[in-house]
Amino acid sequence: MAVNFVSDILPSNVEAEELILGGILIDPFAIKRVANILRPEALSITAHQHIYRAALALHSEEQPADLMTVTTFLADRHLLELVGGQIKLARLVDRTISAVNIDRYAMLVLDKFVRRELIKVGNDLVRLGCETSIELDTVLSMAEEKIFALNKYKEERQKAIRPLSEYCAELWQYLDAIEQQRLENADYLPGISTGFYDLDDLLGGGFYRGELIVIGGRPGSGKTALACALGYSIASLPENGRVLMFSMEMPGRDLAARLIALESGVAVKDIRQVKLAGKYEALTSALGKVSDVDFWIDESLEPSPLEIRSRVREFVCSGSPLGLVIIDYLQLMVNSADENAVNKISEITRQMKILAREVNAPVVLLSQLNRGVETRANKRPSLSDLRGSGGIEQDADVVLGVYRDDYYNPDSPDRGIAEIIGLKGRNSGTGTVKLLFDAECCRFRNIYKFG
């Protein structure tokens, strides 16, 4: 038996739709106030959608969307009679006193549109539940994706095609806002600060929301320690949002030990072996600070990209904004013996890039380097050293390599120094940043401070 919960009358506000269209027809500037709020399909009546599309098209061509131009536009495309003719347009104008409240009416129409979409999603979920031929994990992921997309309607406003001029206006507003922030605080960054000023400078202002950052290194090079340090630094400032780390290689308790070592200066091995004599005061102080940081850990073994996206969506909906996602590490999601391993790595990096855009947060993805790096005289990583590098190079906005000369040469003059090498920066430069690294405490520090 078919299941359908849709009522005969779907939520709508026809009067508000008519007042919006009337306002557009009598006020040449009114369309600018609703173009980024309403998409045509948000209007419940097909005739209203046609009229609104005509106004948007004229607006995009920088022409006034008044009664005469809209009438001509529709007539030239044989749509005038379909919307009710000139009588319909004239009636919309006659019923409208002014466009002063047009943006408020747009929100009323948007409210009803989201409710109609909710009803459609509800029916889609029922159908998905009945599709027993699809694996349950896939069904749950599809269901969550539909709900998450619905939840973002009001935030995203409009994803329809928009003219370049609107993006230019948005960019200018963004630049102006950053400039105002810097007038109040000269050290203000446009991105999310990593806590390391030279690295922030290399990245062009820190991590940016919606970007995929790949950190590559050989086992033991310090890439997980660096990811923890970045996450801890970002989570320490409440305005950045929460940090979520997927740790497929290391239990959450071991990560906690690393963060406490980082904060206290007590060696990780001493914490693990409970050699704490004379160190309780430092550990107690560090424990309080680390416990207060908004840092979350998912230690599930080998979650699929779909599962990660699903869990991040759920996490986003459960509390305060998201500041960073860390995934440790890429190759653990792929069977290296699989003949299609390279293709799967490419698919994973694509999924993680989509995730970054979807939740509007930077995503840091850790990756192993190929063993081939060990055969070279210069063992500093390059893009081609990343396993399955094709997909990584394509999808990552930023690629960083971690190199420690004392890892290979115990007598190195650069002992205790880690090089963070910018291998790719889609919107920033490449180069090398040096940080102090205390391997015993998994602690990275700035070498010196400007000024």
Whether residue 80 contacts residue 74, with contact meaning beta carbons closer than 8 Å, is answered with: yes
Say if residue 254 is in the same domain as residue 151: no
Say if residue 196 is in the same domain as residue 140: no
Would 106 be classed as within a structural domain? yes
Would 2 be classed as within a structural domain? no
Structural domain of 58: 14-156
Say if residue 382 is in the same domain as residue 308: yes
Whether residue 52 contacts residue 21, with contact meaning beta carbons closer than 8 Å, is answered with: yes
pLDDT in tens, the chain (451 residues): 344 544 457 899 999 999 999 999 998 788 888 887 788 989 999 999 999 999 988 887 878 888 999 999 999 999 999 999 999 999 999 888 888 888 889 888 988 998 888 888 888 888 888 888 888 878 887 887 777 777 666 554 444 445 778 778 888 888 888 888 888 877 777 888 888 988 988 898 889 988 999 998 888 888 899 999 999 999 988 888 889 999 888 888 888 888 888 888 888 888 888 887 887 888 888 888 888 889 998 887 777 787 788 788 878 877 778 899 999 877 777 766 566 767 777 888 888 888 888 888 999 999 888 777 777 888 888 888 776 656 677 888 899 999 988 888 888 888 888 999 998 888 777 889 999 998 888 889 988 654 3
- What DSSP string describes 52-64? HHHHHHHHHTT--
Would 432 be classed as within a structural domain? yes
Cα-Cα-Cα-Cα dihedral sign, residues 60, 66, 69, 73: positive
Q: Which amino acid is at 200?
A: D
Helices (H), 131-196: 136-151, 153-156, 164-184
Say if residue 214 is in the same domain as residue 151: no
CATH number, position 92: 1.10.860.10
Would 173 be classed as within a structural domain? no
Say if residue 288 is in the same domain as residue 433: yes
Residue ending a domain, among 129, 156, 183, is 156
Q: Which residues contact 22 (CB under 8 A, 6 or more apart)?
A: 92, 93, 94, 95, 96, 99
Q: Which residues contact 101 (CB under 8 A, 6 or more apart)?
A: 19
Residue 321 is classified by DSSP as: P
Say if residue 212 is in the same domain as residue 303: yes
Q: How many domains does the chain have?
A: 2
Say if residue 404 is in the same domain as residue 276: yes
Answer whether 0.85 is exceeded by the pTM.
no
Say if residue 54 is in the same domain as residue 104: yes
Residue ending a domain, among 137, 156, 175, is 156
Say if residue 120 is in the same domain as residue 259: no
Would 195 be classed as within a structural domain? yes
CATH number, position 326: 3.40.50.300
The two beta strands, 363-368 and 398-403, are unpaired
Would 9 be classed as within a structural domain? no
Say if residue 441 is in the same domain as residue 361: yes
> What is the rounded (10 degree) CA torsion for 426, 366, 407, 200?
40
- What DSSP string describes 233-300? HHHTSGGG-EEEEEESSS-HHHHHHHHHHHHH---HHHHHTT--TTTHHHHHHHHHHHHHS-EEEE--
Say if residue 102 is in the same domain as residue 195: no
- What's the rounded Cα separation, in Å, for the pair 354 and 359? 9
Say if residue 134 is in the same domain as residue 212: no
Would 4 be classed as within a structural domain? no
Instruction: List the one residue out of 333, 329, 363 whose CA is nearest residue 243.
Output: 363
Strand order through the sheet with 431-438: 295-298, 242-247, 322-328, 363-368, 212-217, 398-403, 417-425, 431-438, 443-446
Residue ending a domain, among 130, 156, 182, is 156
Name beta bridge partners: 431.
422
